[in-house]
Amino acid sequence: MNPIPVEAIQTALGDKRLQTAIYSSTGRLMDKRAHAIDPAEIDDFQGLRAQANAIKKHAIDNLDYYLEQLEQNVIARGGKVVWCRDANEAITFVATLAKEKGVKRIVKSKSMTTEEIDLNEHIEHTGIDVVETDLGEYILQLAHEKPYHIVAPALHLTRYEVADIFTDNLHVAREEEPEKQTQIARRVLREKFLTAELGITGANFLIADSGAIVLVENEGNARLSSSAPRIQIAIAGLEKVIPRAQDLATFLKVLGRSATGQPLTVYTSFLSGPRRQGEIDGPEEFYLVLIDNGRTRLLADEHKRQSLYCIRCGACLNHCPVYRKIGGHNYPWVYSGPIGAIISPQFHGVTKDPWLPFASSLCGACAEVCPVKIDIPKVLLELRSDITTAKRAEGAGKWERLAFRVFSYVMQRPKLYEMGAAMASAVFPGSHGKWLSSLPTFMSLPTTKNWLSKRDLPPPAERSFRSLWRERQRAKGAN
Amino acid sequence: MPRVTLFVTCIVDQLFPKVGLAMADVLERLGYQIDFPEAQTCCGQPAFNSGFWDEARGVARHFLDVFEGDSPIVVPSGSCTSMCGHHFSDLFQNDPAQLARVKALEARVYEFSRFLTDVAHAGDLGAHFPHTVTYHDSCHALRELGVKAGPRKLLSHVRGLTLKEMDVAEECCGFGGTFSVKFPDVSGGMAQTKIDSILRTGASHIVSVDSSASCNSRASSPARDSRSKPSTSPKSSPAANPP
């Protein structure tokens, strides 16, 4: 059971530069989304969300059927489908294939699934050059950092920091203008694209009825990664499958708008197997790697299964007041923000980071913006219940459990409740200020002190409502 | 005379009793006869939100017993309304007998401002409050109940009152019940964002339909002074100025 990373969180909170970077970047994304979903821009965005939710629900409820259909159609187009139970199987497949085919360089486009399985680190160990080609991911690869955000991985870095990273790692003249920095990356990466033998992408959607893999991006690097090298691998989680090509219309309308406020991203690519006779481009070999890595465990839970609907737009991160304070690196896994808080415990077991689902004020901003309508607060609440149950089984969290048992006992006994409350207000009458810190509190004492370092709880009123009410009714009766 | 039942919530009962009395005044002025079942305690939300669902279920069952009946139940809190009006059904999702009782209850529960706008159709209550105020959208009222226009409409009927909106009115104040206990620094940071926005409005009072959320803003305000003194209910203003 990992504890709350209190110090790291405090460091993030105290870093003014970082706070400004997070707040302004996410704020910009929020504004853009708000504009893009305005009724003047699109009809019935809420209806599209409901439709996206219904399609995902149907696809996930019938996942076995659609995955088999997908496999048949990918094979029919000349591709191969590789089923991987976990990260290790996926990594082994990529490493073995690369070795077999004499690959020396791999170009990669941005993919959270490959981050999830730590693909780069493992492949680099085999001596192969793996290059991230999304600008943000490329910056992070040079800086040896993990993505800070699902959609905008280098959201926490300023252009001055990017300038430092480029001069230190690429030995180029310092450039602080984002356009110039992009040109530097473009120059370096173009050569990598042309020399790589293997291209790896993720997948935004897998279309069952046509066997096509859909990639959504803004930089064109995913299109290049999937067309320049002679071997192509798309790595995707099982849950990315959607039934029909026509369903894509719904998802493309909500994805770009929710993620970056774009009606449509700049590039939408369809990968459908290797180059066929008569075609002028495309890879010679095409593999679709389908990863479970814990997803079928989520599938088993009827209430929390909706966590698999996620299309990785990042809107819940942008709108989350907790993410906007603690930032992306204080979440225990590559999936940060509200979606990370609901999927990490389900992938890793609820007792690994038992604090995570509690790191939410349950304000509901995430659910309000989720394009596929995942009820994130509800899943958080279910997880909290799972965690206390698991802790009970392990004999942990005894004091908190005792406190809530007492709470429950008292709240079912009005006389006891009134007596207890009267005692509290008799002991601390009008003690405006830090009265709570003198109570034998239901939380551990240091916790309470910490709470009070930021705020006071108003002291109990000298007389409760019920006592004043009785008097009021008596006075009325007397009149 | 139509009847309503008050659920004042444990927070109003113990910390902000005047809010409850003000609410009663307004309802009586609108011609309602008020029942206050004395056996009421809490909705159980602290236990529910902390993952102690068995413990919360016990409190919820007590609530169902106490509020048996058919008159509307009026609650001076969006959060507690959402607990008994939405989340009791989560607690009893596998218990059809209790679930039927919960469904009957849900149809009767109203957050106070919603009751005023949608049931009582309250307009000008003769209220007078010559100050600039800002309205804090508490999260559960806003997102789980959809209470947004109602309180603003009620405030528009208060004479002398100027409503100045915050630039981040819909952002969470960071309270979140036990969240503020477990993550005091994060909660404090969130409150600070909200407070800065409140101060930018120049309002002398904050109006909210949730006393608990205003705790966090009040408690975390820089000087903890009277500049951001919350008036915890838009409905307290009519009572503060009886005719």
Q: Which positions in chain A touch B88 (Cβ < 8 Å)?
A: none
Residue B135 CB-density burial (10 A; 0-12 exposed, 13-18 middle, 19+ buried): buried
The model's confidence at residue A447, banded by pLDDT at 50, 70 and 90, is low
- Is residue A436 very low, low, confident or very high in pLDDT (cuts 50, 70, 90)? low
Q: Which of A218-227, A253-262, A415-424, B197-206 has the lowest mean pLDDT?
A: A415-424
Of B70, B98, B118, the domain-final residue? B118
Q: Is the same domain home to B217 and B188?
A: yes
Least confident of A182-191, A376-385, A456-465, B78-87: A456-465
Under 8 Å between Cβ of A290 and A83: yes
Residue with tokens 């009767």: B108
Minimal Cα–Cα distance from B197 to chain A, Å? 14
Strand, coil or helix: B224: coil
pLDDT at B177: 85
The larger pLDDT score, comparing residue A298 to residue A453, is at A298
- For residues B207 and B136, give the distance between their C-alpha atoms in angstroms, rounded to a whole number: 6
Alpha-carbon distance of A70 to A81, in angstroms, equals: 9
pLDDT band for A452, please (50, 70, 90 cuts): low
Same domain, B114 and B127: no
A363 touches chain B (CB under 8 A): yes
Q: Tally C-beta pairs within 8 A across A and B.
A: 200
Residue A290 has pLDDT above 50, yes or no: yes
* Res A325: pLDDT: 97
Residue A440 confidence (pLDDT) above 70: no
Q: Mutate which of A16, A408, A434, A456 to disrupt the B interface (most B C-beta within 10 Å)?
A: A408
For the complex shown, is ipTM > 0.95? no
Closest among A202, A379, A226 to A291, alpha carbons compared = A202
- Among A17-21, A83-87, B102-106, B122-126, which stretch is predicted with the lowest mean pLDDT? B122-126
Mean pLDDT of A237-249: 97
A364–B216: do the CB atoms touch at under 8 Å?
no
Given this model, what pLDDT does residue B225 score?
37
* Tens-place pLDDT, residues B180-194: 999 999 999 999 999
| Same domain for B143 and B62 | no
Q: Are the Cβ atoms of B17 and A464 closer than 8 angstroms?
A: yes
Whether residue B123 is predicted with pLDDT greater than 60 in this model: the reply is yes
Measured distance CA(A401)–CA(A420) in Å, rounded: 19
Higher pLDDT, A477 or B107: B107
The pair of structure tokens assigned to A359 is 């790191």
What's the pLDDT band for A137 if we cut at 50, 70, 90?
Answer: very high
Residue A437: pLDDT over 60:
no
Rounded Cα–Cα distance for residues B39 and B65 (Å):
9
* Rounded distance between C-alpha atoms, residue A144 and residue A176, angstroms: 20
**Both tokens assigned to A219:** 């930089």
Rounded-to-integer distance, Cα A39 and Cα A384, Å: 37
Residue B86 and residue B10 share a domain: yes
Is B94 found in the same domain as B29?
yes
Q: Is the pLDDT of residue A28 over 70?
A: yes
| Long-range pairs of A446-454 with CB within 8 A, sequence gap ≥ 24 | A447/B181, A447/B182, A447/B184, A448/B181, A450/B184, A450/B185, A451/B180, A451/B181, A451/B184, A453/B184, A454/B184, A454/B185, A454/B187, A454/B188, A454/B191, A454/B219, A454/B220
At A449 the pLDDT is 57
Mean pLDDT for all residues in chain A: 93
Domain boundary among B62, B94, B118: B118
Clarify whether residues B45 and B62 are in a common domain: yes
* Structure-block tokens of residue A155: 């959201």
Edge-to-edge, what's the strand order for the sheet holding B3-6? B33-35, B3-6, B73-75, B109-111
B22 with B81, same domain: the answer is yes
**Contact of A88 with A110, CB cutoff 8 Å:** no
> Does the structure show a pLDDT above 70 at B92?
yes
User: Is 80 exceeded by the pLDDT of residue A430?
Assistant: no
Q: Does residue A461 surpass a pLDDT of 90? A: no
Q: In what order do the strands lie in the sheet with A285-291?
A: A80-84, A285-291, A231-237, A198-201, A105-108, A129-132
A392 touches chain B (CB under 8 A): no
Cβ–Cβ of A466/B190 closer than 8 Å?
no
The strand pairing partners of B73, in sequence order, are: B5, B109
Confidence of residue B216 (pLDDT cuts 50, 70, 90): low
Q: Please tell me whether residues B129 and B235 are part of one structural domain.
A: yes
What is the pLDDT confidence band of residue A55, given thresholds at 50, 70 and 90?
Answer: very high
Same domain, B69 and B169: no
Give me the domain span that covers residue B57: 3-118
* pLDDT tens profile B147-158: 999 999 999 999
Q: How far apart are the first and last CA of chain B?
A: 22
**CA separation, residue A451 to residues A70, A360, A454, B172, B183 (Å):** 52, 16, 6, 18, 8
> How is residue A168 written in tokens?
């230190």
* Residue B127 sits in the same domain as residue B223: yes
Residues B127 and B159 in one domain: yes
The pTM score is 0.92
Length in residues, chain B: 243
By CA distance, what is B212's nearest residue in A? Answer: A457
Interface test with chain A among B10, B36, B52, by most A beta carbons within 10 Å? B52
- Across the interface, do A461 and B143 touch by the CB < 8 Å criterion? no
Mean pLDDT confidence for A257-268: 97
- Three-class SS of residue B162? strand
Summarised one tens digit per residue, pLDDT across range A372-394 is 999 999 999 999 999 999 999 99
Task: Tell me the domains of chain A and their CATH numbers.
Answer: 37-293 (3.40.50.10420), 299-396 (1.10.1060.10), 399-478 (no CATH)
* Whether residue B64 sits in one domain with residue B39: yes
In this prediction, what percent of chain A has a pLDDT beyond 90?
Answer: 87
**Range picked from A351-360, A391-400, A423-432 for highest mean pLDDT:** A351-360
Give DSSP secondary structure letters for A39-92: TTTSS-HHHHHHHHHHHHHHHHHTHHHHHHHHHHHHHHTT-EEEEESSHHHHHH
> From its phi and psi, is residue B224 left (phi > 0), alpha (psi between -120 and 50) or beta?
left
In degrees, to the nearest 5, what angle opens at C-alpha A119 toward C-alphas A115 and A123?
155
On whether the CB atoms of residues A290 and A69 are closer than 8 A, the answer is no
Give which of A252, A263, A258 is closest to A370, Cα–Cα.
A258
- Asked if A196 contacts A105 with a C-beta cutoff of 8 angstroms, the reply is yes
CATH number at residue B60: 3.40.50
How many domains, in total, are found in chain B? 2
Collapse the DSSP code of A230 into the 3-class scheme (helix H, G, I; strand E, B; otherwise coil) and give the result: coil
Query: In angstroms, rounded to a whole number, what is the distance separating the alpha carbons of residues A208 and A242?
Result: 6
* Residues near B237 by beta carbon (within 8 Å), at least 6 away in sequence: B127, B128, B129, B158, B161, B231
**Chain A interface disruption, residue of B186, B194, B217, most A CBs within 10 A:** B186
How far apart, in whole angstroms, are the C-alpha atoms of residue B165 and residue B159?
Answer: 17
Q: What is the mean pLDDT of residues A162-173?
A: 96
The model's confidence at residue A85, banded by pLDDT at 50, 70 and 90, is very high
Give the mean model confidence (pLDDT) for residues B201-227.
Answer: 66
Q: Is the pLDDT of residue A42 over 70?
A: yes
Q: Which of B118, B138, B153 is the last residue of a domain?
A: B118
- Enumerate residues 98 to 127 of chain B having a beta carbon within 8 A of any beta carbon in chain A: none
Q: Residues B89-110: what's their mean pLDDT? A: 97
Instruction: Give A418 to chain B, closest Cα distance, Å.
Output: 9
Residues 133-172 of B with CB under 8 A from A: 139-140, 142-144, 170-172
Cα B220 to Cα B228: distance, rounded to the nearest angstrom: 10
- Judged against a pLDDT cut of 70, whether residue A182 lies above it is answered with yes
